[in-house]
Amino acid sequence: MSTKAKLLLVLAFVTLVYFLVGGEAEPVEVEVESES
């Protein structure tokens, strides 16, 4: 699997989770800040 295909798969997964959560991006932003 190419890098571009993996990136597209991750993007699709993140979008799916985003809609499942109901458009609440705040928890994701908090996780990103913690990792930094």
pLDDT (tens digit per residue) in 1-36: 799 999 999 999 998 888 888 765 555 555 556 655
Query: Radius of gyration over alpha carbons of the chain, in Å?
Result: 12
Q: What's the distance, CA 36 to chain centroid?
A: 16
Distances (CA, A) of 3 to 9, 22, 25, 31, 33: 10, 29, 26, 24, 25
Q: Report the pLDDT value the prediction gives residue 12, as an integer from 0 to 100.
A: 95
This prediction has a pTM of 0.49
Distance CA 27, CA 30 (A): 5
Q: Report the pLDDT value the prediction gives residue 22, as an integer from 0 to 100.
A: 75
In sequence order, what DSSP letters do the residues of 1-36 get, joined into one string?
--HHHHHHHHHHHHHHHHHHHTS--HHHHHHHHHH-
